[in-house]
Amino acid sequence: MKKVDRANIVSDYLDKIYPEVPIPLKHKSTYELLIAVLLSAQCTDERVNKITPLLFKIAKNPFDMSKVPVNKIYKIIRPCGLAPKKSNAISQLSKILVKKYDGKVPKSFEDLESLPGVGHKTASVVMSQGFGYPAFPVDTHIHRLAQRWGLTNGKNVIQTEADLKKLFPENSWNKLHLQIIFYGREYCQARSCYGIECKICTSCYPKRHKPITVKKP
């Protein structure tokens, strides 16, 4: 089976079980989305969604957040992990947004990735979910699934992102990356499927009987 055939299996099946996909991180503005995505690094969306209402209650825009002491931000976001680094990033990027961008979240990868604590994956999520710009955010989970499904041989998320963008039409990227995330959580988890149990894995590789070893990014 060719890689493009496996890609068609993936997209067809995901469209069938996830015709509509909500954005996992709750937010009311692009700024809130940016902060939520930043907090989600090495933290579950469920936990982030419990913490952000507490944080946004004291400051829901960069103007207000830039005035909040870092230690106060730290105490609120501590359950999300990496709190010292994240609290500093939230404070500093808020000040930069006020000073350089009139309090608005910039609409380019370059400007977003220049902000403290914002890497390419975070910028991709904001561009796709916040601004509707075609992007394919790839985290370690999508990287793992793409390998199990034979869509990439990528040794890192950068190569995996490039491979997925070549396989799937641009107008599907924003929805597809969310579909993959939801599917992975529900059916193809890191410590359960191993590439030999879920519907997509068995459809892409019907003769596979041994667990697949995934190249970690």
Tell me whether residue 121 is one of the annotated catalytic residues.
yes
The amino acid sitting at 114 is S
CA distance 162 to 53: 35
The two most distant CA atoms of the chain are separated, in Å, by 59
- Of the residues 2, 45, 104, 139, only one is catalytic, namely 139
Residue 53 CB partners (closer than 8 Å, separation 6+): 26
Is 139 an annotated catalytic residue?
yes
Alpha helices in 59-149 (DSSP H): 62-65, 70-77, 83-101, 109-113, 120-125, 140-148
Tokens of 3: 């890689």
Q: How many CB atoms lie within 10 A of CB 100?
A: 13
* Catalytic hit among 121, 163, 175, 207: 121
| Cα separation, 73 vs 94, whole angstroms | 12
Q: Which residues are catalytic?
A: 121, 139
